[in-house]
A = this chain, B = another copy of it.
C-alpha cells in the first residue's frame, strides 16, 4: 500500500492551478474561488496528501503562534472546567495557547469551524464529546493537524487516538459500596440510554448485583439526562413508590443534586433515609450538604493526557499509547450509610 507521495506540484498540475493556489487552500486562506477550492480539496483527498510534518513544525516554531484547539459540544458546567484545567496545565508551560470552541450542543463541528481551524493551523485538535465526519477528518489529516478524542461517553472511533475512563468499573464500585452497606433495593438515575458511558455504568451496576447473587429491579433503572433537573424529575417519581429504593446511584454529580432535592421534598433525610452515590467527583461535591459520596472520573488527568498526546503527535512522534482508559475510583463521603431498616 506504499505509494509515491503526491507533492503540491503534482496536485497543482492535476487540477490545473498554480502551486501557490494549492498552498492557499492548505493554509485555510479564503481568497480562492469556492469551485477551485473544492476541486483542490478533492484531489488532496484522493491522493491522501499530507503536508510534511517536519517543515510545518519548523515553520510554526520560527514564527507562527503555537495553538491547540479544544472543542466542546457544550461548555455549560463544572465538568468542562475540569478538562480545561487539565489541558491548561500541560499547554501553559509549553507556551501553547488553548483555543476554546463550544458547539452549542451540536455533536459535529460545522464546516466553518473546520475552515477556521485550518486558518489558525493549531498543533492539534482535542475534541470533547464530539466527532468529525470523514471529510473533516481528511481535511485535518491533509494539513498534518493531529486530533485526539477525549471520550467521556465510551464510544471512541476505533482508528482515532482517544483518552477515556473506565465507566463500567465506576458503576461496579458505586454499587458494590451500596450493597456492602446492606442496601438491597437500589435505584439508578442515569444519563441518556443511547450514550455508551451510560450503558457501561448501568452494566457495572448489574454486574455488582450478579456478583453478590442479588436481583436488581429493572423498574428502578431510569434513563434521563446528565443534569440536576433530570435527577429531580425521576427521583420525585421513584421516591413516591411504596417500595421506594433505600439508595440511588446517580449518573452524574448534577443528577445527584437533583435527587437530593427530591429526597428533601419527600421529607427523606440523606443518608439516614436515602443513600446517594454521584459520579464525576467535581471539586464542589466535598462542600455539599452532606458531602457527596461519588465516583471519581479523572477529568483533569484525562484532559492533561490528551493534550500531551497531541503535543507528541504534533512533534511527529508516536505517543506510547493511543487508546487509554484512566481508572475510576470511589470517593466515600457522607451521603451513604446503611439502610434504616437493616
Contacts and interface: CB of A to CB of B under 8 A. Distances in A.
Q: Does more than half of chain A's interface fall in helix, strand or loop, or is it mixed?
A: mixed
A101 interface: yes
A261 interface: yes
Contacts of A116: 65-66, 95, 97
Interface in A55-101: 62-67, 69, 75-78, 80-81, 84-85, 88, 92, 95, 97-101
Contact of A81 (B64, B80, B99, B287): B80
B65 A75 contact: no
A334 to B, nearest CB: 10
A75 B303 CA distance: 15
Given A76-B85, A77-B81, A98 B100 contact: yes
B92 A84 contact: no
Given A78-B284, A85-B75, A288-B289, A63 B100 contact: no
A271 B260 CA distance: 18
A170 interface: no
A315 to B, nearest CB: 18
Interface in A140-174: none
A9 B121 CA distance: 31
A12 interface: no
Q: Please tell me how many copies of the chain the complex holds.
A: 2
Interface residues of A, number: 47
Interface in A86-120: 88, 92, 95, 97-102, 104, 112, 116, 119-120
A30 interface: yes
A31 interface: yes
Nearest to A92: B102
A184 interface: no
A112 B94 CA distance: 11
The 8 closest A-B CB pairs, nearest first, are A65-B120, A257-B287, A97-B99, A289-B289, A228-B287, A65-B119, A81-B81, A98-B100
Interface of A: 27-31, 62-67, 69, 75-78, 80-81, 84-85, 88, 92, 95, 97-102, 104, 112, 116, 119-121, 228, 254, 257-258, 260-261, 264, 283-284, 287-289
Given A29-B63, A261-B287, 8 more contacts: A80-B81, A81-B81, A84-B84, A88-B101, A97-B101, A98-B99, A98-B100, A288-B289
